[in-house]
Structure 1
């Protein structure tokens, strides 16, 4: 599939969910870059992730797309459109609307005229997208996950980063448990900071206060995505659930303790070897649920604290 010529129609890839989703597609995106070395590679992704896209490297341009229905392509028909988004027909329709010369996607029963490999739900997310592009003749390395270091300087380094938030309540370990963990590690002499997105300021303030940390330890009020990335890259340890900072920790090989609940780590956890401890009760549930997953609640504070101490000790 390799071709050359920057003046030719671009290669367009769609990956429009959140930060963790984007990072699982990095090896596939780099495979596209290698497979089309002379062509313009455009990524359709949420506008807020532009800073992360720059750290991936090799992507010539981005176009804003908050979900597949938010892709509004005004450029020339791509020579190739690649669906790295999901299994639903919406992403197929969005890319077909760009009138590509070729479409690389998983097939869907509601789109019988579209060719592609079947969707397999049990495959790890990184390997899913690698397998898709490998099936098209490209070479992909599932371990090719590293990101460049961000230019933003973190306000603290070598800290224990506690991130209590997640996209959905089912993936959020209770704030009281995060506070208990943070209090214990702070009492043992570790510098502990709490991070979160703009919508999580009440949550991070609660965890900070209940842990007895100084208010300055709550970094959520100034925690842009670029700053969060820099903090993870420079952290001594990251403790969080199945959410974006977990994937950043994998990308930067930062030691981490990761709490999984409704989704199994075999699908979304760190697949590469590294300083990561994954805690999971072995049950699955609704990843979009409106309350903490019962399996996630089975993970006690003591177990997480022991795992954090082991990672901090270098074991």
Structure 2
């Protein structure tokens, strides 16, 4: 029997679903777990052993099922389908079209599917763990880890005083894209302290990284890797970094997965919904929103007002605080986000 799980989203979204995928494994041990997701992301999780195969999927297009996977393995028409993509109805219907023996998903009358209720105020990790735990797939935030909980050095980075600072200035949408001049001031402040900084970004973010990299550091302590790292190489870099600094995007979730200390800038979405769900002592978040206020569109094109209120000086201050503290041991899963830097 095959279990087909759908999460055809970006890196950050995919990583918040890893715990639920591990729960699916526990619910149906011995079953083949196929993930419908973007090919590069799904193949990476396949190589890590989180899933058995990836069904290359972009968005909510019709899923080619039955599917001949690697080596010519043919999946039977019937399968168990798990919707880890959204509340429906589009994602429900995409899986219903595969004619599964059963669909595990949140309830949606428009898709004629009964199921658990969708809670807007639930942390993204807990939401999917609740869905899967309800069918016997025990899982929780601790299942987010992709590396050991406590590597030999205590936190996945080189010894204190060594290792690079990873700065990821980009984000997929303008609402979460902090201004480049402010990132540049942060980088200058870090290198002035003798720290080595590595900039990361997608091929589309190379121009942004060139703007962030201070001119005087063109051949100095700032290395620009934008557009040149595969996902496995990026994950390896993050796992060995001393600190990761970014906005609320996929690289921040990589830091959570590998237990690498991080500083994350939030804007349209509260860290209570999308912040680091494990090892709170290792992660600092900066957010100038109001607790309990509704989330704004994280995919909007204009810079979010809460993110706009974050200053470069504040980010430098929080980075220095993170660098001063000794490596923290794995410390459980409460609270469900890192320590929030209050507004000044």
Q: CA deviation at 1:109?
A: 3.5
For the aligned residue pairs, the C-alpha RMSD in angstroms reads 1.9
- The CA distance in 1 between the partners of 2:244 and 2:13, in whole Å, is 18
Q: Deviations over 1:145-191 (max 9, x none)?
A: 11148xxxxxxx81011100011110011111110000000011000
Q: TM-score, normalised by structure 2?
A: 0.83
Report the count of equivalent residues.
300
| 2:233 alignment partner, SS class | helix
CA contact (8 A) 1:16 1:44 kept: yes
Q: Deviations over 1:53-86 (max 9, x none)?
A: 1354241111011112253223323431000001
Q: TM-score, normalised by structure 1?
A: 0.90
- The CA distance in 2 between the partners of 1:78 and 1:250, in whole Å, is 36
Residues 1:50 and 2:76 aligned together: no
- The CA distance in 2 between the partners of 1:50 and 1:214, in whole Å, is 36
Shift in alpha-carbon separation, 1:242–1:80, aligned structure 2, 3 A = same
Matches within 5 A, 1:55-70: 56-69=48-61
- The CA distance in 2 between the partners of 1:213 and 1:309, in whole Å, is 23
Deviates more, 1:251-260 or 1:62-71: 62-71
Match of 1:314 in 2: 325
- The CA distance in 2 between the partners of 1:168 and 1:56, in whole Å, is 28
Match of 1:251 in 2: 257
Matches within 5 A, 1:129-140: 129-140=128-139
Match of 2:313 in 1: 302
Match of 1:207 in 2: 212
Match of 2:123 in 1: 124
Match of 1:175 in 2: 180
Match of 2:239 among 211, 233, 236: 233
Match of 1:38 among 9, 21, 30: 30
Match of 2:109 in 1: 109
Q: Deviations over 1:104-150 (max 9, x none)?
A: 00112322x2111111111101000000011112211222111148x
Match of 1:100 in 2: 100
| 2:253 alignment partner, SS class | helix
CA contact (8 A) 2:35 2:42 kept: no
Gaps in structure 1 of 5+ consecutive residues: 1-8, 150-156
Shift in alpha-carbon separation, 1:190–1:78, aligned structure 2, 3 A = farther
Q: CA deviation at 1:243?
A: 0.4
- The CA distance in 2 between the partners of 1:302 and 1:278, in whole Å, is 15
Matches within 5 A, 1:14-25: 14-25=6-17
CA contact (8 A) 1:79 1:102 kept: yes
Match of 2:159 in 1: none
Residues 1:281 and 2:288 aligned together: yes
| 2:114 alignment partner, SS class | coil
